Amino acid sequence: MTKKILPIFLILASFFSVCAQKMDLPPARKLAFVQQIIEQYYVDTVNGGKIADEAIVAMLKTLDPHSTYSDPEATRALTEPLQGNFSGIGIQFNMLDDTIRVIQTVAGGPSEKVGLLAGDRILSANDTLISGVKMPQADVMKRLRGPKGSKVAIKVSRRGVAEPIDFLITRDDIPTYSVSATYMASDSIGYIKVTLFGETTPDEVKSAVAKLKKQGMRHLILDLEDNGGGYLQAATEIAGMFLEPDEMIVYTEGTHTTPMQYTNTGKRDKSIDRVVITVNQYSASASEIVSGAIQDQDRGLVVGRRTFGKGLVQRPFPFPDGSLIRLTTARYYTPSGRCIQKPYTAGDDDDYNAEILHRYLAGEFMSADSIHFDESLLRHTLKHKRPVYGGGGIMPDLFVPVDTSFYSTYYRDILAKGILHRFCNNYIDENRKMLKKEYPTENSFVKHFAVTETMMQGLINLAQKEGIAPDSAMIATSSPALKVYIKALIGRDLFEQSTYYLIANKLNPVYNEAVRLISDTAEYRKRILPDAR
């Protein structure tokens, strides 16, 4: 008994010896002592790594909502979309009714090379069932992705083929794209949708701009709605495309970091005249850097709803095991001196994360009059001295409320239960050859394809089978929107992601207001230069 207790006394003696020498024990030493005591003397066997992870999470939680820790697996999931590629089999898929369905194969990718087709159902990967077993999507991804050059054997069910088909696919680097739509909104107005700010985003945007300029673009709508951000460098490069050389884009300040100013080191693309940035309540971080710079420098107008309000800069600190700390090291400020970080209480992440809901309940999504800024945070744009505010996101130059005119509980339930997507998948499977023959190009599909009443009745029948009773009044309210989304989803499957937005944007009031504003020279000029006569 004495022999067992002796090591405890030795540890405690060492502990108190340090305390005697210096009453304030260094926090790192204290944590190390606690870890050592738990691992050696806790009543049951413990996982030291898990304890350390939990301690890190708890420490970061006392700081701010954006300082986070991720384990190796979560780190890979977070960084892959930003890095511009990963190794896998090269498909876009969805999971519906517990089934993995191929939407598209990546052009020139591993799956296309072996003959995988849109509409195929993937049954298994390396003899492991992945369809019909309620496998989480993250686990499916693990089985389809893998190191470049490794092989995966998959079994596929194909419509019209009685027996499953076997494929052996060699994984390769698969590009991921942050520009999800590029098209001409009119003869002179280009539209680019950016979903995140990754390593390849500036090059993707430049390529999209070059493509649109060949089609006659003179004005640009840059869609940053729902864009949660990404790399600061990507944001500064994209903002710089529209600004003069040496104009400020953003600057950062922190207690333990050197203040940094980011100015435009490139040349402004003078072929682009009017610029409109579209944003909403989910546009954050790098999206706010771009929209804030364009607004503060009076280079363009921001349209939509107040952005998220993230003005904190995180620096990654990786560990050898692949885990990562993203620590807030500075605040960023727009050129006019705005910090647009919304208020937070350290340790109260739940209230911080619920702030968007609070905005909704306060009526902010319906009326700009419900938004109140602290007058002490008033700043002015640099050239034309328009009033702008810090302290809680970027307030658009033109506010656009949410459109709920087509909303009904019937519409909600059809979307929530995946019935709309299932109907579209079934329709495409049954009519793919006919659709490809009748609408060989995106343009012919957009111009001539129409959702028929027979198709709508098929959707209603499918919903009824799933327990959603038809309601004539609600169907009449929601049918126009449902028809647009059906066409958009079918178009995406037949052509590309841009096709979806080209069709579905007709229902987006922010997009429609952006097109109207950028088309109206007089109103655009009046909003960006209020004293113009």
Is 342 labeled as catalytic in the residue annotation?
no
Q: Is 310 a catalytic residue?
A: yes
Q: How confident is the model at residue 138 (pLDDT cuts 50, 70, 90)?
A: confident
Asked if domains 85-175 and 179-399 share a fold, the reply is no
Tell me the per-residue pLDDT of 400-413, one tens digit each, with 9 for 90 and over.
999 999 999 999 89
What confidence score (pLDDT) does residue 533 get?
A: 43
How much of the chain, in percent, has pLDDT values that exceed 90? 57
Query: Catalytic pick from 285, 291, 408, 478?
Result: 285
Lowest mean pLDDT among 67-76, 177-186, 242-251, 504-513: 67-76
Q: What is the mean pLDDT of residues 416-423?
A: 86
Q: What is the pLDDT of residue 88?
A: 86
Fold of domain 179-399? 2-enoyl-CoA Hydratase; Chain A, domain 1 (3.90.226)
CA 205, CA 177: separation in Å to the nearest integer? Answer: 10
Express each pLDDT in 430-444 by its tens digit.
999 999 999 999 999
- Going by their DSSP bridges, the two strands 398-399 and 301-304 should be labelled as parallel
Q: What is the pLDDT of residue 132?
A: 80
Half-sphere exposure of 178 (CA within 13 A, CB side): 33
C-alpha radius of gyration, the chain, whole number:
27
Which residue has better confidence, 487 or 154?
487
pLDDT for res 23: 59
Q: Give mean pLDDT, residues 367-378.
A: 88
Q: Residue 81: its pLDDT value, please? A: 67
pLDDT band at 253 (very low <50, low <70, confident <90, very high): very high
Q: How many CB atoms lie within 10 A of CB 24?
A: 7
pLDDT of residue 304: 98
Q: What is the pLDDT of residue 84?
A: 66
Q: Would you state the pLDDT for residue 333?
A: 96
Domain coordinates in residue numbering, the chain? 85-175, 179-399, 409-495
Helix axes 232-240, 201-214, angle to 10 degrees: 30
The confidence score (pLDDT) of residue 183 equals 97
Question: Which residues, 6+ apart, have CB-to-CB distance to 107 below 8 Å?
Answer: none
**Could you give the 3-state DSSP secondary structure of residue 3?**
helix
**Bridge pairing between strands 387-389 and 275-279:** unpaired
| Residue 181 phi, psi (nearest 5) | -155, 135
Contacts of 52 (CB under 8 A, 6+ apart): 35
Q: Which of 64, 120, 172, 296 is catalytic?
A: 296
Q: Give buried/exposed letters for 246-277 (b at 16+ CB in 10 A, else e).
A: ebbbbbbebeeeeeeebbbeeeebeebebbbb
Residue 73: predicted pLDDT? 79
Yes or no: say if 428 and 490 are a contact pair by the CB < 8 Å rule. yes
What is the C-alpha separation between 48 and 22, in angstroms, rounded? 28
Is 285 a residue of the active site? Answer: yes
Q: Give the rounded percent of residues in the chain with a pLDDT score beyond 70.
A: 94
Please tell me which residue in 155, 310, 342, 487 is annotated as part of the active site.
Answer: 310
Residue 463 amino acid letter: A
Q: Hey, is 480 helix, strand or coil?
A: helix
* Predicted confidence band of residue 264 (pLDDT cuts 50, 70, 90): very high
The larger pLDDT score, comparing residue 523 to residue 416, is at: 523
pLDDT digits (tens, 9 = 90+) for 10-61: 555 555 555 545 556 788 888 888 888 988 888 888 888 888 888 888 989 8
- The topology (CATH level 3) of 85-175 is Pdz3 Domain (2.30.42)
DSSP code per residue over 43-86:
SS---HHHHHHHHHHHHHHTT-TT-EEE-HHHHHHHHHHHHTEE
Instruction: Spell out the SS3 assignment of 133-182.
Output: CCCCHHHHHHHHCCCCCCEEEEEEECCCCCCCEEEEEECEEEECCCEEEE
Per-residue pLDDT reduced to its tens digit, 465-524: 989 999 999 999 999 999 999 999 999 989 988 999 999 999 999 999 999 999 999 999
Q: Quick one: pLDDT at residue 7?
A: 53
Q: Does residue 112 carry a pLDDT above 60?
A: yes
Of 105-109, 239-243, 496-500, which has the strongest mean pLDDT? 239-243
Give rounded-to-5 percent helix, strand, coil for the chain: 45, 20, 35
